[in-house]
Amino acid sequence: MKTVLCYGDSNTWGFVPNGNRRYGPDERWPCLLKTRLPEGFCIIEEGQPGRTTVHDDPFEKGRNGLDYLVPCLESHLPDLVVLLLGTNDLKAHYNLSAWEIARGAGRLVEEIQRYKTRFTGKVPQVLLVCPPPVVEVSEVTGKFRGAAEKSLQIEQHYRAEAEALGCAFFDAGSVVKSCPDEGVHWQEGEHRILANALAPQIIQLLS
């Protein structure tokens, strides 16, 4: 059995744009991913709304992705971690550059690459996924002021982190678009698109 840990934020959790609810198991991308993989793959959903790469949220507790990462690895002992974080780092109150956001993602990759347990004797592989650009619309504009332009810049920095750290890379923005009416979260069809795009890469990495 190959275990794939999907470690992300509200778009991994399945937040419905403007809906204040969660997509069902047959709609969100980690669950859909399982249906695109052959037998012998176990998918662990680990999405949390508001989760950042390595930063404490001054308004909501427990959103720092680095703090929970090792306990999560210990709980699930994944063969592969699909890491999709960085959108919340774009929030205006963090005041981070595109490079700093990518470096936060890289810091998580480093933590995964250092993790080795006696139970498996091996280090998990990492597929670093760069989140798609956001759109500054509706009530999202205040939280994500200035994020749209910045989000267009992060792909090059994520790619550079992946190359420097020797992990696999995928640009979600090459296939997925944020909801044009809400700006940050994804419409249902985008979850299917991402699952379809990631499945062959995961199969190749774990073959």
| Structural domain boundaries enclosing 68 | 2-205
Q: What share of the chain is helix, strand, coil (3-state, %, to 5)?
A: 45, 15, 40
- For residue 130, the domain's CATH number is 3.40.50.1110
Say how far apart CA 89 and CA 154 lie, in whole Å: 11
pLDDT value at residue 121? 82
Q: Where are the alpha helices (DSSP H) in the chain?
A: 10-13, 29-36, 65-76, 98-114, 140-143, 147-151, 154-165, 188-205
pLDDT value at residue 139? 63
Tell me the chain's radius of gyration from C-alpha atoms. Answer: 16
- Which residue in this structure is represented by tokens 């680990």? 46
pLDDT value at residue 137? 85
pLDDT value at residue 120? 77
pLDDT tens, per residue, the chain with 207 residues: 999 999 999 999 999 998 789 999 999 999 999 999 999 999 999 999 999 999 999 999 999 999 999 999 999 999 999 999 999 999 999 999 999 999 999 999 999 999 988 777 889 999 999 999 999 886 666 789 999 999 999 999 999 999 999 999 999 999 999 999 999 999 999 999 999 999 999 999 998
Q: How many residues are there in the chain?
A: 207
User: Which residues sit opposite 7 in a β-bridge?
Assistant: 46, 83
Collapse the DSSP code of 51 into the 3-class scheme (helix H, G, I; strand E, B; otherwise coil) and give the result: coil
Domain count for the chain: 1
